[in-house]
Structure 1
Amino acid sequence: MDPYKFLHIAVNTITRLGKRSETPADPNPHLHVLSKDLSINPSHNTWARIYLPQEALNHSSSSSFIKLPIIAFYHGGGFIALAANTTFFHDFLIELVQRTQCVLVSVNYRLAPEHRLPAAYDDALEALHWIRTSEDKWLTSFADYSKCYLMGESAGGNIAYNAGLRAAAEVDHLEPVKIKGLILVQPFFGGVKRTSSEERLANDMMLPQPVTDLLWELSLPVEADRDHEYSNPTAEKGSMVFDNIARLGWKVIVFGTYGDPLIDRQIDLVKSLQKHHAHVEGHFQGEDKHGAFGGQPTKGKALELYDTMKKLFTTNY
């Protein structure tokens, strides 16, 4: 199979041939969840879509109103495609915000190969500083900055993890934003040596092996291989950060399914964090494919995700 054709990109160009469905933001207060787009860095063309549950508006004037946890979310797309306004993610986040009652900031970061990693990580961290200094009323009036979680799906899960490592190095400069944990949904990691799940599902039609290899080739720094720390968190250099995550006391939750070629790498990350005494949970079950959580936002795996997140929001991590 041709991975370029699969990804709808032209060989030796940066032309994206596939057009994915997009949904505009809607701040209508009569909706269950409101949304709006705001610029983060015009020079990089980065921006965020903010989601606010309508229920928060209804109760904000009450003396018993309690501000909501805030999530910084990073979309998937193999680092090279999709956006914060892609319908797939918009529909998923509308449901997530409604069911978990949080404020959510979905970050539209720069894409590879025009902007290879770590550009997306830099944008992810810049978005946290933007949240910290923004005067937008949805954030200042409704978000509890002391309960911030970094979350991402697929490549976005990789970004949430690596942005978290950067944030861990400058927690004092993020005040009043305090990161409580990482929520990684089928995160996209790789490595030079194939895992058992990658070999077993090499011809998986949702995420074929030639496609994952090409995504790393287009997104990693030039001449880097898949054991680079951006790709392989359990490689020698990547594992050095686990102690820091444990020291900060963050809760890390990793979601995965056994029909996903990436499952073994996700399990290995959980085991590595456990060895370093980090607060980590692995939720691995079912034979669903990659993209199972966001693909059906009103049933199945997504409902399990929402329930776990609601429990997380009520703990003291």
Structure 2
Amino acid sequence: MAVPIVCKQHDNHSQQEQQKSAMVPEKEVVEYRPGLLILYSDGSFERLSDLDVPACADFENSPNGVATRDVIIDGAQPGVWARIFLPRAALSLGRKSLPVVLHFHGGGFCIGSPSSAHIHRTCSRMANKSSCIWISLHYHLAPEHPLPAAYDDAFSALLWLRTQASLVLAQEREPTVHRLNDDAASKMKADPWLSEYADFSSCFLSGDSAGGTIVHFLAARASGENLRPLQMKGMLLMHPAFPQEAPRSSMELSNVKVGFFHRSALPPGAPFGHPLMNPLHPESPIDLSQLTLPPALVAGASNDPLLPGDVAYFQALRRAGHEAQFFESQGMGHCFHTRYDESSPAFAGSINALEGAMVSFIQRNRIVRSDARRRVSADARRSAELRTQLVIKERVLRNPIQMQSRCPGSVETATKAIHTDLHFFFSIKGSSALAYSPGL
């Protein structure tokens, strides 16, 4: 018969663990957001899976008709990747016809991913509505990677997109020759979807909440960069996070949640309104008036506690001479458009209105700015032609005998023709018309 041996060491160890656990108070849940995060009383947190959606490159099998594919961002830090959203419209619009939108998700710099259900759904919907290629970036999250890590990743993604545009250009001219100076970039391959459908002359930056903050700091950093052949046509900042002071609590943003995001994303002890998050801080090293920024659409919501910062940023852009417009959703909260609710007609209507403004902004800045360049060029040519004609007619008008021999008709007829040309000459929009005086 076996006699059990009592292990006193094990008993002592168990007693020590019990005493230790009794001394440490249990952490309590101070905030729980389904699909987002759990915050505990000791400052720790858990990221929760938001029903991650896998990429699907097949139009037919995708529930929303948008093909998606995940790609590694070459040249960025390990772990940075993006999801490309290709709308079905690409099949009918043809090659190189879709604008490209580089998008940054929200989540207080701490949570979220392009595969998160609400982010995937929002980008898919916008790709369909705008007939654009949306590229949603997975950047490093705080507190493991505090700011400016997210800004660095965003800049790497922008350079990657520039390289993609250069690769396509090199392929069109001579596929066997790389025209990139960077050895690492010269080894990259052009993405098949981007090389086939992307219009790199019409690119936009987009971001929700913290993603909107990323958009600003990325555009500011890219202000002095040569992005050719990439052409930035605009930036969309949806409810950007530019907190100037601790905001009031709301249904979407509690004080606990905002405090957690702030402590996690910024340096220890940094006050609200820190220059790393608020470009309007008096100590900010960035002067808006010295930047070259594309046109901006700044969107806010009346019930968003971050609305004052959105308005202040929009006004600062205008004062600095930048082209900007503001769109406010009445009765809505922070980033409401990422929580689509078809059961509420009012809610769905507000989302459609906001996203309609985004689509209009993209279409207007993509087409009008290109047309404006062509119009100015045509006006310049017409202006030069008119100046030549006016000089000839001026000389003829000064010598009636010579005019009669070269231009049959009366002096009055010739003079009327000259006045008609003058009226058209000075009415040309955007032309640098010189003052004309018959006495010269």
Q: How is 1:278-293 mapped onto 2 (pairs within 5 angstroms)?
A: 278-293=322-337
Q: Does 1:214 pair with 2:231? A: no
Counterparts of 1:297 and 1:309, CA distance in 2: 19
Q: 1:179 aligns with which of 228, 232, 239?
A: 232
In 1, distance between residues paired with 2:93 and 2:341?
26
User: What's 1:91 paired with?
Assistant: 121
1:206-262: CA deviation from partner (whole Å, max 9, x where unpaired):
1012321221111012343223212222112448431134xx351111111111100
Matched, 1:100 2:100: no
Match in the other structure for 1:156: 211
Q: Name which of 228, 232, 235 aligns with 2:281.
A: 235
Cα 1:297–1:54 change in 2 (3 A) is farther
- SS of 1:73's equivalent? strand
1:169–1:225: structure 2 CA closer, same or farther, 3 Å change rule? farther
- 4+ residue segments displaced more than 6 Å: none
Structure 2 residue runs of 5 or longer lacking an equivalent are: 1-27, 165-189, 343-347, 370-440
TM-score under structure 1 length normalisation = 0.87
> 1:24 aligns to what SS in structure 2?
coil
Are residue 39 (structure 1) and residue 72 (structure 2) matched? Answer: yes
- 2:73 partner SS: strand
Aligned identity (percent) is: 28
* CA contact 1:14–1:113 (8 Å) conserved in 2: no
- Distance change (3 Å), C-alpha of 1:3 and 1:116: farther
Tell me by how many angstroms 1:114 deviates.
Answer: 0.5
Over the aligned positions, Cα root-mean-square deviation in angstroms equals: 2.3
Whole-Å separation in 2 of the counterparts to 1:224 and 1:10: 21
Cα distance, 1:302 vs structure 2: 2.6
Structure 1, unaligned stretches of length 5 or more?
Answer: none
Q: Find 1:58's aligned residue among 61, 75, 92.
A: 92
Q: Give the structure with the higher percent helix.
A: 2
Give the count of matched residue pairs.
Answer: 302
Amino acid at match of 1:277: G
Please report the TM-score for the alignment, with normalisation by the length of structure 2: 0.64
Question: Would you say the 8 A contact 2:301–2:333 is kept in 1?
Answer: yes
Structure 1 equivalent of residue 98 of structure 2: 68
Q: How far apart are the structure 1 equivalents of 2:70 and 2:290?
A: 34
2:321 alignment partner in structure 1: 277
2:364 aligns to what?
314
Distance in 2 separating the partners of 1:108 and 1:285: 28
Paired with 1:59 and 1:290, the residues of 2 have a C-alpha distance of 34
Q: Is the 8 A contact 1:92 1:297 kept in 2?
A: no
3-state DSSP class of the match of 1:16? Answer: strand
Give CA-to-partner distance per residue, 1:159-200, whole Å, 9 cap, x none: 111111111121x1x2211212210011112124x5xxx3xx
State the 1:45 CA deviation: 0.4
350, 361, 381: which one aligns with 1:301 = 350
| Change over 3 Å in CA distance of 1:167–1:33 after alignment to 2 | same
Tell me how far apart the structure 1 counterparts of residues 29 and 322 of structure 2 sit (CA, whole Å). Answer: 40
**Cross-structure match for 2:157:** 127
3-state SS of paired residue (1:314)? helix
Give 1 or 2 for the bigger CA radius of gyration.
2
Question: What does the per-residue CA deviation read over 1:68-115, in whole Å, with 9 as the maximum and x for residues that have no partner?
Answer: 111000011111111111000111111111011001110000000110
Task: Say which of 243, 250, 256 aligns to 2:300.
Answer: 256
Deviation at 1:309, TM superposition (A): 2.6
1:14–1:70 Cα change, 3 Å: farther
* Partners of 2:329 and 2:350 within 8 A in 1: no
Q: Pick 1 or 2: higher relative contact order, CA cutoff 8 A, min separation 6.
A: 1
SS at match of 1:290: coil
After TM superposition, give the deviation of residue 17 of structure 1 in Å.
Answer: 4.6
Q: Distance in 1 between matches of 2:97 and 2:138?
A: 25
Summarize the Cα distance change of 1:120–1:11 in structure 2 as closer, same or farther, 3 Å threshold: farther
